[in-house]
Amino acid sequence: MQSEFDAVLGFVERMVEKLNVDERKDQVSVVQYSKEPSVDFYLNTHQTQQSVAENVKNLRHKGGSPLNTGAALNFVRDNIFTASSGSRRQQGVPQTLVLLTGGRSSDDVRNAAENLKVMGVTVIVVGMKDADILEMQSISQEADVFLAADSSDLSAIGQQILSTTVRNVNVVTTLASSDPNRRDVVFLLDGSDDSQRRFPDITDFIQKIVRDLNIGANRDRVAVVQYSNTAETNFNLNRYVSENDVVDAVGGLAHKGGYPKNIGAALQHVREQAFTPESGSRIQQGVPQILILLSGGRSGDDIRTPVKVLKEMGVISVVIGTTDADTLELQTISHEPKYALSVSDYEELPTVKQDVMALLRETSHHVVHSGPTVASDSKKSDVVFLIDGSNDSMNGFEEIRAFIEQIVETLNVSSVGDQVAVVQYSRDATVNFYLNSYSSKNDVLGSIRTMRHKLGRPLNIGKALEFVRNNVFAASVGGRRADMVPQYLFVFSGGRSGDDVRGSAQSLKDNEIKAFSFGTKNADTLEMQTISHTPGHYFYVPSYDNLQSIYSSVMARLEDTQETTEIPITGKKLKKQLLKRYFSHTEVQNLWKSYEQLIYLNCYSSLNNLSLMK
């Protein structure tokens, strides 16, 4: 597209001229891509129209081949439409991507496009020269596809795109503000021993808040959860549909009791049990999801991972803490610092009621986009994490741990669901726990949070892979390959292996173990790609500090791998299970009857032939 580049820049300049660039209004980012993408500037780089226009004029053509559009779409999702780059998605601001492409992509675009759609990003595609119309349509969510026979057509297309963008803005704005009294509100109450004396003050405060809401099946919904060392749901979002019923239920709450205050576990509980469609959450309809947490002291467990997951879901947390609570902890949990409120004791809660209501009114304009999950109740898998435990990884160990915790949070851990094992390696490999060691997510996370760094050198990856295959995926310690359960290995490496990886990597593939690899700048790329299930299952990060930036890409690739896992068809039960992936229950029954009739006819024909031969 070198010869067309000036025309493309002119097109972008004309688009920018029609926008109202300001940090509180329109924001603009530009990314170029070929084999890999590169950012010219982010959404929050320039705050004026003039600054954007000048930088567009000075852009230099990137060059390179081939055209990896899928990788570019993933890049803008993970690096541009993020809060750190200036995205205001969590504030309900419409997110629009205008993609200009001059040829067919060399990589797959479908999953990347779908992930943008899940985020709520509107993708408008402009095709030039050798662009593939079917590919363009698969990238765009609707009919937002424009073809330019030559560069002179770009001028007319620009006006059509602006009209499309305005239409999409109006749709999102209507969704966000048409009904400000449509919120899902979960109260997470301190039910520990320390709060028992003041529990009537807590319930009285909740009743006052509820009376200021607009309760109804299609309006505001309320749930209440209490926590201490564990959490328990008092009632879900779909339990009551009238104000009086909610007020009466709150007034009748019995204090839970217990010690200590495990807020991390409580946040995980509300994510898994309260903010779900089964419990009445309307997260998939874009209804704001609000958590109001009352804390009377410091948490007895780690809060970081569950807080991250809730924020990624789009849950807006309002936190009210007493003087015994940890201020930094409250601010970490809250949506932003102003969402963290403080009272001297629970009897002073009425003093912050108006502040809470003001924040609730503000949250009414948030539009929630629910993201993909890794595993549903119908799926199960064996997941092993093979961690670089050498001396060189010591500084990045906490980042590896946090990344693994985040993945485990998305799994459905149980003896009949997902199973997890963790192994560290350096010169040799050491098991932290096996696939059948724990049957609950809490136990797995607890073990991960308390594991110590192994240390040692050199980094013998080949030996570690062989150890995992023979000793960790084995049936004797929980491996379920014989039951056709998919098996996944996550390998982290901060350097080149001290031994050969080829034989052990091939052995993993022969055993249908699908490996994802993560290498830092000191790792050997070819070596890591050899270990991976496919080269696309290798993820590069400059250092372990950057693992968080690739989380979404990893989850998307894992989900895609799960969906395309081939299951050998052996026996009637497995054949029926495979049919159910593509047909309804009635269709399966009819197909199976036809299949059995065909077998019967074949057998009858064979017997007939035998009798004739006699």
pLDDT digits (tens, 9 = 90+) for 479-524: 998 888 999 999 999 888 889 889 899 999 888 899 999 988 888 8
Domain ranges of the chain: 2-177, 184-363, 382-563, 572-613
Which residues share a beta bridge with 98?
Answer: 124
Q: Is a pLDDT exceeding 50 seen at residue 594?
A: no
The mean predicted confidence, pLDDT, of the chain is 82
Q: Is the peptide bond before 180 cis (omega within 30 degrees of 0)?
A: no
560 touches 110 (CB < 8 A): no
**pLDDT score of 129:** 75
- Could you tell me the pLDDT band of residue 591, with boundaries at 50, 70 and 90? very low
394 touches 453 (CB < 8 A): yes
Distance CA 261, CA 300 (A): 5
**pLDDT score of 481:** 87
pLDDT tens, position by position, 41-73: 999 888 888 899 999 989 989 888 899 999 999
- The rounded radius of gyration (Å) of the Cα atoms in the chain is 28
Distance CA 330, CA 303 (A): 10
- Residue that is written with structure tokens 């328990």 in the block: 232
CA 480 vs CA 249, 381, 460, 512, 573: distances in Å: 45, 8, 26, 12, 17
**pLDDT score of 2:** 55
Q: Is the peptide bond before 37 cis (omega within 30 degrees of 0)?
A: no
What is the DSSP annotation of 563-580? HT------SHHHHHHHHH
Distance CA 118, CA 134 (A): 20
Question: CA 201 from chain center: how many Å?
Answer: 38
Q: Which fold has domain 2-177?
A: Rossmann fold (3.40.50)
* Selected residue with higher pLDDT from 282 and 221: 221
Distance CA 374, CA 359 (A): 32
292 touches 250 (CB < 8 A): no
pLDDT tens, position by position, 176-198: 444 556 899 999 999 999 999 99
Burial of residue 76 (CB within 10 Å: 0-12, 13-18, 19+) is buried
Nearest to 490 by CA among 519, 518, 470, 512: 518
Q: Which tokens sit at 257?
A: 């009791």
Burial of residue 167 (CB within 10 Å: 0-12, 13-18, 19+) is exposed
Output DSSP code: residue 338: G
537 touches 528 (CB < 8 A): no
Is there a shared CATH topology between the 184-363 domain and the 382-563 domain? Answer: yes
- Could you tell me the pLDDT band of residue 549, with boundaries at 50, 70 and 90? confident
Judging by DSSP bridges, how do beta strands 487-493 and 231-235 pair with one another? unpaired
Q: Which fold has domain 382-563?
A: Rossmann fold (3.40.50)
Distance CA 575, CA 276 (A): 32
Q: What b/e sequence results for 508-537 when a residue is b if at least 16 CB atoms lie within 10 Å of its CB, and e otherwise?
A: beeeebbbbbbbbeebbeebbbbbbbeebb
Nearest to 481 by CA among 381, 379, 571: 381
Output DSSP code: residue 42: -
Q: What is the 3-state secondary structure (H, E, C) of 313-338?
A: HCCEEEEEECCCCCHHHHHHHCCCHH
- Residue that is written with structure tokens 């899940």 in the block: 118
Report phi then psi at 578, rounded to 5.
-70, -40
Distance CA 426, CA 459 (A): 5
Q: What b/e sequence results for 178-217 when a residue is b if at least 16 CB atoms lie within 10 Å of its CB, and e otherwise?
A: eeeebbbbbbbbbbbebbeebbebbbebbbebbeebebee
- Give all strands (DSSP E) within 466-542, no chain letters: 487-493, 513-519, 538-540
Distance CA 603, CA 609 (A): 10
Mean of the pLDDT values across residues 400-428? 90
**pLDDT score of 233:** 96
Mean of the pLDDT values across residues 249-276? 94
Judging by DSSP bridges, how do beta strands 429-433 and 419-425 pair with one another? antiparallel
Q: Is a pLDDT exceeding 90 seen at residue 170?
A: no
Least confident of 53-67, 221-235, 255-269: 53-67
3-state secondary structure of 562: helix
**pLDDT score of 578:** 40
- Sign of torsion, CA 588 590 594 599? positive
pLDDT tens, position by position, 456-470: 888 899 999 999 999
> How many degrees, rounded to 5, is the angle at CA 563 between CA 561 and CA 569?
110
Report which residue type is found at 129: K
**pLDDT score of 10:** 85
**pLDDT score of 567:** 40
Nearest to 420 by CA among 329, 342, 485: 485
Q: Is a pLDDT exceeding 90 seen at residue 171?
A: no
**358 CB-near residues (< 8 Å, 6+ apart):** none
Most confident of 69-83, 200-214, 569-583: 200-214
CATH architecture of 184-363: 3-Layer(aba) Sandwich (3.40)
Q: Which runs of consecutive H residues, i.e. helices, occur in 364-460?
A: 397-409, 441-450
332 touches 339 (CB < 8 A): no
Nearest to 126 by CA among 92, 149, 95: 149
Q: Is a pLDDT exceeding 90 seen at residue 295?
A: yes
Q: Which tokens sit at 105?
A: 């992509």
Q: Which tokens sit at 539?
A: 């993820």
pLDDT tens, position by position, 57-113: 899 898 888 999 999 999 998 889 887 788 887 667 888 999 988 889 999 888 888
